[in-house]
Amino acid sequence: MNPSSAPFSSPSGKLSGTLYVVATPIGNLADMVPRAVETLQSVALIAAEDTRHSARLLSHFSISTPCVPYHDHSDERRTDDLLQRLTGGESLALISDAGTPLVSDPGYRLVRAARQSGIPVVPIPGACALTAALSASGLASDRFSFEGFPPAKTNARRNWLDALAGDRRTLIFYEAPHRVLACLQDMEAVFGPEREAVLARELTKTFETIQGGPLAELVEFVAGDSNQQRGEIVLLVAGAPARADEGLDAEAERVMGILLEDLPVKQAAALAARITGVKKNALYQWAIDQK
């Protein structure tokens, strides 16, 4: 039996189906993984964010599985109907319009309800705009925060951005094309014109654009080309730089402490900078201050 359709024995002892959370391409249909195609072909039903939008994808891969809409405006009755089918032994797949479901897409309620009911939830990984953008951005990827869509109104957006201004992590946002210029202008005002940022637009599609630079330059770039205000957009902003009056974090202090046991300050600072990513001068000054 295909594992996608095999029933599962829940803690209650009853046989249930499996809910598959299936990632789909964000533009290029060649990015569809074989496991996703097999799963969508074998389940009893597909819950799609927009069945009309998904029809092209399903047709392209000869997937004839029935679809029902499941989106932000679906009521509890639709969730209950899907749960009933799962507990009755049918396996279902959840897809969004593009990319990985639940990443700024509907589906959270169904996944949570399924898990609470003891129904297995299996991810089928694939495309995701935020990770694709981060991988090609050149910004630090060891720590990042996905913030979703900023508020639509200027005052609310600036207040929201102000709360993020000191975050050291790379910040990732989705933004609507008709608001991207205003959002970048607010980012420049709040984060400062020199903060590094990247615009990733129409990823995997014909007019893919990945443009980086200081926020002031990025604002000028988008303002000067109306084509950059179209399509699917990811904005990435470098984390806030360390302030000169701040001490080292615990990990940097630990690394410096170990290196200073065997190395001169200058060499220890240079090596610790490579290990921790902290500026060499800050590490050197910290070591001097400890004496």
**Which tens digit of pLDDT belongs to each residue from 209-266?**
999 999 999 999 999 999 999 999 999 999 988 665 567 788 899 999 999 999 999 8
CA-CA distances (angstroms) from residue 288 to 138, 266, 269, 278, 284?
33, 10, 10, 16, 6
Task: For residues 113-141, give the mean pLDDT.
Answer: 96
- pLDDT, residue 278, reads 87
Q: In this predicted model, what pLDDT tens digit does every residue of 55-107 receive, in sequence order?
A: 999 999 999 999 999 987 777 889 999 999 999 999 999 999 999 999 887 78
Task: For residues 113-117, give the mean pLDDT.
Answer: 94
- pLDDT, residue 290, reads 80
Q: pLDDT tier at 6 (50, 70, 90 boundaries)?
A: low
CATH topology of domain 130-237: 3.30.950
d(CA 199, CA 202): 10
- pLDDT, residue 10, reads 46
Per DSSP, helices labelled H in 88-170 are 108-116, 129-137, 154-162
Q: In this predicted model, what pLDDT tens digit does every residue of 189-205 receive, in sequence order?
A: 999 999 999 999 999 99
**Homologous superfamily of the 8-127 domain (CATH):** Tetrapyrrole methylase, N-terminal domain (3.40.1010.10)
Q: In this predicted model, what pLDDT tens digit does every residue of 152-165 receive, in sequence order?
A: 999 999 999 999 99
pLDDT above 80: residue 23? yes
Q: What's the mean pLDDT when you consider all of the chain?
A: 91
- pLDDT, residue 216, reads 97
Domain spans of the chain, in order of start: 8-127, 130-237, 250-290
Beta carbons of 127 and 31 less than 8 angstroms apart: yes
- pLDDT, residue 243, reads 60
- pLDDT, residue 289, reads 79
Beta carbons of 131 and 103 less than 8 angstroms apart: no
d(CA 39, CA 20): 8
- pLDDT, residue 4, reads 47
CA angle 286, 290, 291 (to 5 degrees): 125
pLDDT above 50: residue 11? no
Pairing between β-strand 196-201 and β-strand 209-214 as defined by DSSP bridges: antiparallel
Q: Side by side, which strands form the sheet with 209-214?
A: 144-146, 170-175, 233-237, 196-201, 209-214
Task: For residues 15-24, give the mean pLDDT.
Answer: 92
The helix/strand/coil state of 132 is helix
Beta carbons of 106 and 96 less than 8 angstroms apart: yes
- pLDDT, residue 1, reads 38
pLDDT above 60: residue 9? no
- Give residues with Cβ within 8 angstroms of 174, minimum separation 6: 104, 129, 130, 148, 149, 233, 234, 235
CA-CA distances (angstroms) from residue 140 to 4, 10, 144, 216, 273?
37, 42, 8, 20, 15
- pLDDT, residue 22, reads 98
Could you tell me which of 215, 269, 254, 256 has the C-alpha nearest to residue 237? 215
pLDDT above 70: residue 2? no
- pLDDT, residue 156, reads 97
- Give residues with Cβ within 8 angstroms of 116, minimum separation 6: none
Q: Token pair of 255, please?
A: 């690394």
